[in-house]
Structure 1
Amino acid sequence: MVRWAEKNELPGLVAVELAADGLFEQVGIVFPPGTTQIEEVRDPGAVLVEGEPPAGFALIGWVDGGLHLEQLAVHPDSMRQGIGGRLMTAVLDHARAAGAPRVTLTTFRDVPWNAPWYERHGFTVLPEQEWGPRLRDLVRQERELGIEVAPRVVMHRTP
């Protein structure tokens, strides 16, 4: 069951993120040190989780007036059980309930569990000329952090 995280669960989500990030090594992507996102989160109201303890999470925020999926991660030991899909549904439900006109995200274009997975969930590539100022800043920050180690895209969909 997807639910909002509790504050005491946030530190444990770092292990989920690191394990999920380790999967990228299979496709030659290694993230630079210090690029984990969840360890900086202090507000559990920005994190949807599933499991006891959580086996997956979706980190969300607001960007240019829309909901932005900052990260969706599932521990490899719990993959292929529908957790990612249920988290995505919860993100979209929350966006709809909050009146968000769209949900955006940035992801790797060619990694099978990234852009192709989001496409199966109704996301399409958002052309650069349609990016808002905050989304442009996020993409620039990703590049500066060294996260763009393979081609990335910005994607969106209506909730």
Structure 2
Amino acid sequence: MSGFTLRLAQEGDAEAYHRVEDDATDLLREEPSLAGVPIPPTASAQDHAKVIAKGRSLTALVGNEIVGFAAAAPAGRELHLHELSVARAYQGRKIGATLLEALAVDARNSGYRAITLNTFRDIPWNAPFYARHGFVEVENLEGRPHLLEAHASDIALGLPAERRCAMIRFLD
């Protein structure tokens, strides 16, 4: 981990999470294939604080600056990744990949069976990125109400259903 460190998220990280996510979401706003697709607003600092309070989120820092995070919360015996974001100025340094791997190690050591998430199926830094890190698409959401709810919420926000998918990484 050259040039950055990771730690467990702290209550005071929520405002920085909001700023980092908002910055990283500009990539979606600028993605040509999403022209005309409404990009939902990013999570508020209050929403991030609620996820951080569940004790499973990780923060990436360069010096004392928060530059990325993995916001996750339990969903039964699975850990659901609500958001993985890295500030654009720090992308390409393997911070996101390291956050994801650290989250998997922590989840496995804590007894979780898998990590789940919802994402864009066809955006290179979404589903293809997660697939390179051991995630597979969930074909049937039955039995995973948190994934079904997240998918329904995405659709209600105007995201195209055919471009969204749920993914899972089993932690054998």
TM over 0.5: yes
- For the Cα contact (< 8 Å) 2:78–2:116, is it kept in 1? yes
- For the Cα contact (< 8 Å) 1:63–1:135, is it kept in 2? no
Among candidates 54, 57, 60, match of residue 50 of structure 1: 60
- For the Cα contact (< 8 Å) 1:55–1:74, is it kept in 2? yes
* Greater relative CO (CA pairs within 8 A, separation 6+): 1
Q: Could you tell me how far 1:64 is from its partner in structure 2?
A: 4.0
Q: Could you tell me how far 1:130 is from its partner in structure 2?
A: 4.6
- 1:37 and 2:47 are equivalent in the alignment: no
| CA displacement 1:54-92 (0-9 Å, x = unmatched) | 100000012243111111000000000110011001110
Matched residue, 1:94: 106
In structure 2, stretches of 5+ residues that fail to align are none
* Structure 2 letter corresponding to 1:122: G
Alignment of 1:64-143 (within 5 A): 64-143=76-155
TM-score normalised by length of structure 2: 0.83
TM-score normalised by length of structure 1: 0.89
Farther off after superposition, 138-147 or 37-46: 37-46
CA RMSD of aligned residues (A): 1.9
Q: Could you tell me how far 1:97 is from its partner in structure 2?
A: 1.2
Distance 1:148 1:3 in 2: 35
| CA displacement 1:114-146 (0-9 Å, x = unmatched) | 000001001110112555123212211222123
Give the % identical residues: 31
Distance 1:78 1:72 in 2: 13
Distance 2:162 2:151 in 1: 13
Runs of 4+ in 1 over 6 A off after TM superposition: none
User: When the two structures are aligned, how many residues end up with a matched partner?
Assistant: 157
Q: Secondary structure at the match of 1:106?
A: strand
